A and B are shown apart, each in its own frame.
Chain A
């Protein structure tokens, strides 16, 4: 089998496509940046790819609410293609704005019965855009294939709307993959460890199959050792904590 093909979805305001493509390339995949119009107009087909990524950015300016307009566009214009892609075993990764989009499009949380109860992402409690590094604890019981073998990660967040909100009966149903935590891994830690006030310190969730994963922090921004904010103190690791996420995805997709 040839290289794994990754589609990096681009829409007006997407801005993390290049570094996300770099991360997948480093992990051994072919990454192609595809504009949403190309999918809608049939110039590109989702079914030609094994991995779909909705990268970070401010799609459509995050006007009205972050990710909302692209979420509707995906749902209304590409809903069936995406469903077929999921049913065909494809992987989907949403990062930052991609998280907001997947949740608002109802592609996540996609529980075991296939339903996506209402879940949303809203403005940070601080009322500010927060660009800072956070400690993440990985839920060992999560079915998420992207985080296999990872216990914890140190990654940057950069968002103004990252607070996960859901009705109290929905929260326990979610497949939480990563929690905001402190240095010791305590996932009850408050601000700034939890940079947005997210319910249950949720930083990322996946669907019941573990093949659809979205998170607010940016794994693609910690691929190389020198991206760590303290590498000049601690020395640079060969790979950043985020690299394994991409490696796992490519490995899995190769096995398809």
Chain B
């Protein structure tokens, strides 16, 4: 503890007559919990300053920095002298309950750093420490239990925060670290010892045996740093052991599933515009001959499950560093985010112990993504949100970033012996230690309390500053190689960078956030906002000056060698010494068995409803289909000024756009289309057709907005349950095989990907596995953005066409789902026929013939036509009799809601009819209706009877209501 005489507590709150937006939001959240005894909440900010300050100085700090003179009032209190002063009037209401919440020790609070800087500007450089605390004043009569519930579910996340007593606030002092070399005895282990070491570092039996054999050869025991390095480098998260393993599937043996499917497709297609695939932090393709695009999507699932805000924020922070660490560095220009949660109305009483409620996860993830991406100034232009109860304990948070870099810098750099290892960006703390092994492990009930050190808290401004200065350093060619410091921290980043050279790292040179870190903690810490550079010695001074000029930290922490060894030092002591060969190739290949058998579901027993309007409203209002405007508007999708087609389109800027289009070079006419496909429901019937369907979905979104498939690159992201189970692994194999088949047939190569396996949760001996989830993300180069088409109906009297064939394919559909059925007829894909259809449709949009186009996905033709109508503020009449069928389907509901792939609804001006039909000749196509001025959607059944007659404002209301939060 520092001396108490120097402690000052400053309280800042809104003047009482002003509405407190933060407080009102909390009142709503408390009501959502079913607690009605809280009438009002006031939120105040508390700052504890450790400094010798006079009352005049304190007043100056309050008036010119901490409190807004127009809207806020302040009060400060110095415990040692009992002096209370300020401009705050009024007494605290005796009826209220006060809860004060502070961050746990070691958790990064970005605000503290900013205040320190601002105090220096004010000439108050003598302030030693600042801590922020938030005070909630709850008015009303909540009982003890309700207060506890409010604390647990809304105010405090014990992973990062705790409740503090205002009178007993203290600054915990960080303990000093005393060096001691830790060796782990593995050379003479008994069975108990073996399994203890195995568990401590998360190795498999085979892996630990390989390690023991290696150190026997070396004639010594390993240090803890060496074992940690191996644990990080060999983790599923880093090496994708399952995908690269040997899998026996039926009568065949697959040696490296990734190479046998996804990478093989790319290799066979051999597109000349693929510049760097599967070898860098992101895949890179050519854009316009001068510039290149790189694209990567990552998941940040486990951290988001336990601390949604910080987990999702650092998910963004992490994936943004992928393009930044690709080639010689790309500027991040677009984000895409896809989330999978349990339904927000999931009953609290059914919530497994140790799991946060999906509503809280959803809100926290949304806020984390928005706060981080908005601050970085990267537009979040595209995404999706899906709901399924089995995501209850394992929510999925996919974050993707598109980057732009000069084409001649697209290849990964290469350093030479003697080049310096330079760590740039944020300082290193204890945050996120063991994140990688955590990400690869099963979550349990205790995860939300015991894995606290696995959670990282991000500071977006540190990352923004880093991006700004790095791109300048890149353009001056001050470094020859770059990589990001992500999972596994320095151990992964430096270890991988030096795989073909060798490196010596001096861990005591790493700038720390606070004292007390051991050499091993420094080496594996996953503190955010850090990158590693290889810098030639003759560039180092210029580089350090450039970074210093923008107050971004850069530290030389080692040098590359040519001895193919990883050597770690701490204050002159050798604390790690491994062969690169063993580190990167020494892990035993995983051998697994996989099986797959198609499950049989009951075919739904659904009466033919005479009126399909009700069913349509139900699907539109389902969690998966409903409007996500509440989320989208809280993301900045306009920053950088590049958007051409935004996520919300139509007459009132609120219709659901298919894919996003940006113009990365503001003065050019070329664009990039970003789309994604995901539908875990299909995977429950057959993961093969799920993968095929979601690839088709991503591609048809590209075509729907006016793009073509001439230059489309794909990313895969597999999120699966525990692939140690044979059927799980079999499902993974099926999905990967479809990726190969579809990519080769559509001629759309994969350029990068990622997997997150073991998304399972154990509670009371029951395993909850997520549904097999494959996200396909696609980018397409668009020659002329002026050809873009949005999905909203444009003009009364225009013709509505359906392109593509409708089949009896309602297995896993939204229609069956809203009636509680799964079915078996999963939508299939005929990629060659689909590609031909899509090529023709692309030609039609290129010729300017298409007024609006929307792909049919969840909810089929019914949802697509409804969305086009209400987005355009126009009515429509369609007839199901004209819909081209691939097989006899005698039910109107099945035709209207079938989710057959490769289908589009297209709006065409009457005068373009002839030319459009000619361009489309040979493809499955039919005129099915017309855009009307009635503001009603009318659908006629096969027998000519009217089956839907619903005003578009009713359709829209049903679609907007669920997430109007």
B and A form one assembly: yes
Q: A-side interface residues toward B, CB under 8 Å?
A: 10, 12-16, 18-19, 22, 35, 37-38, 41, 56-58, 60-65, 68-69, 72-73, 76-77, 118-120, 122-133, 156, 158, 165-167, 218, 220-221, 223-224, 226-227, 229-230, 232-233, 236
**Cα–Cα, bound, A167→B15 (Å):** 12
Whether the Cβ atoms of A165 and B790 lie closer than 8 Å is: no
**Cα–Cα, bound, A84→B115 (Å):** 29
Tell me, yes or no, whether B666 is within 8 Å of chain A by CB: yes
**Cα–Cα, bound, A220→B646 (Å):** 17
Q: Which residues of chain B in 632-657 are interfacial with respect to chain A, using CB atoms and an 8 Å cutoff?
A: 632-646, 648-651, 653
**Cα–Cα, bound, A215→B693 (Å):** 46
Whether the Cβ atoms of A22 and B667 lie closer than 8 Å is: yes
**Cα–Cα, bound, A73→B114 (Å):** 12
Output the nearest chain B residue to A18 by Cβ-Cβ distance.
Answer: B640
Whether the Cβ atoms of A125 and B377 lie closer than 8 Å is: no
Whether the Cβ atoms of B644 and A64 lie closer than 8 Å is: no
**Cα–Cα, bound, A227→B785 (Å):** 11
**Cα–Cα, bound, A13→B71 (Å):** 25
**Cα–Cα, bound, A166→B460 (Å):** 31
Which of B416-424, B461-469, B861-869 touches A?
A: B461-469
- Give chain B nearest CB distance to A24 CB in angstroms: 12
| Given A58-B461, A128-B634: A226 touches B653 (CB 8 Å cut-off) | no
Which of B341-349, B368-376, B486-494, B824-832 touches A?
A: B368-376
Q: What are 8 of the A-B contact pairs (CB < 8 Å)? A: A15-B377, A18-B641, A37-B549, A58-B377, A58-B460, A62-B375, A120-B71, A232-B645
Chain B residues whose C-beta falls within 8 Å of the C-beta of A18 in the assembled complex: 640-641
Known contacts A16-B377, A61-B461, then 7 further A-B pairs from the complex at CB < 8 Å, ordered by chain A residue = A58-B375, A58-B461, A72-B118, A125-B21, A158-B636, A229-B649, A229-B653
Whether the Cβ atoms of A220 and B464 lie closer than 8 Å is: no
Q: Which of B66, B118, B651 contacts A60 (CB 8 A)?
A: B118
Whether the Cβ atoms of B69 and A73 lie closer than 8 Å is: no
Chain A residues whose C-beta falls within 8 Å of the C-beta of B788 in the assembled complex: 226, 232
Chain A residues whose C-beta falls within 8 Å of the C-beta of B637 in the assembled complex: 131
| Given A13-B464, A22-B666: A61 touches B638 (CB 8 Å cut-off) | no
Tell me, yes or no, whether B31 is within 8 Å of chain A by CB: no
Whether the Cβ atoms of A69 and B114 lie closer than 8 Å is: yes
Whether the Cβ atoms of A72 and B70 lie closer than 8 Å is: no
- Give chain A nearest CB distance to B461 CB in angstroms: 4
Chain A residues whose C-beta falls within 8 Å of the C-beta of B549 in the assembled complex: 35, 37-38, 41
Whether the Cβ atoms of A221 and B641 lie closer than 8 Å is: yes
Chain A residues whose C-beta falls within 8 Å of the C-beta of B110 in the assembled complex: 61, 63
Q: Which residues of chain B in 236-285 are interfacial with respect to chain A, using CB atoms and an 8 Å cutoff?
A: none
Whether the Cβ atoms of A226 and B644 lie closer than 8 Å is: yes
Chain B residues whose C-beta falls within 8 Å of the C-beta of A15 in the assembled complex: 375-377, 464, 639
Q: Which of B21, B653, B872 contacts A132 (CB 8 A)?
A: B653
- Give chain B nearest CB distance to A231 CB in angstroms: 8
- Give chain A nearest CB distance to B60 CB in angstroms: 11
| Given A13-B464, A58-B461, A158-B639: A76 touches B115 (CB 8 Å cut-off) | no
Chain A residues whose C-beta falls within 8 Å of the C-beta of B651 in the assembled complex: 230, 233
Tell me, yes or no, whether B459 is within 8 Å of chain A by CB: yes
Chain B residues whose C-beta falls within 8 Å of the C-beta of A156 in the assembled complex: 638
| Given A10-B468, A72-B64: A61 touches B111 (CB 8 Å cut-off) | yes
**Cα–Cα, bound, A127→B367 (Å):** 12
**Cα–Cα, bound, A223→B642 (Å):** 10
Whether the Cβ atoms of B633 and A64 lie closer than 8 Å is: no
- Give chain A nearest CB distance to B197 CB in angstroms: 43
Residue among A15, A18, A118, A227 having the largest count of chain B Cβ atoms under 10 Å: A15
Output the nearest chain A residue to B370 by Cβ-Cβ distance.
Answer: A129
**Cα–Cα, bound, A35→B663 (Å):** 26
Chain B residues whose C-beta falls within 8 Å of the C-beta of A35 in the assembled complex: 549-550
Q: Which of B375, B785, B794 contacts A226 (CB 8 A)?
A: B785
Tell me, yes or no, whether B16 is within 8 Å of chain A by CB: no
Whether the Cβ atoms of B70 and A127 lie closer than 8 Å is: no
**Cα–Cα, bound, A64→B64 (Å):** 11
Tell me, yes or no, whether B551 is within 8 Å of chain A by CB: yes
Q: Which of A61, A77, A123, A227 contacts B114 (CB 8 A)?
A: A61
**Cα–Cα, bound, A129→B110 (Å):** 19
Output the nearest chain A residue to B791 by Cβ-Cβ distance.
Answer: A232
Output the nearest chain A residue to B636 by Cβ-Cβ distance.
Answer: A158
**Cα–Cα, bound, A216→B459 (Å):** 25
Chain A residues whose C-beta falls within 8 Å of the C-beta of B767 in the assembled complex: none
Output the nearest chain B residue to A68 by Cβ-Cβ distance.
Answer: B65
Tell me, yes or no, whether B508 is within 8 Å of chain A by CB: no
**Cα–Cα, bound, A252→B468 (Å):** 31
Output the nearest chain B residue to A117 by Cβ-Cβ distance.
Answer: B70
| Given A61-B110, A63-B110, A127-B25: A122 touches B377 (CB 8 Å cut-off) | no
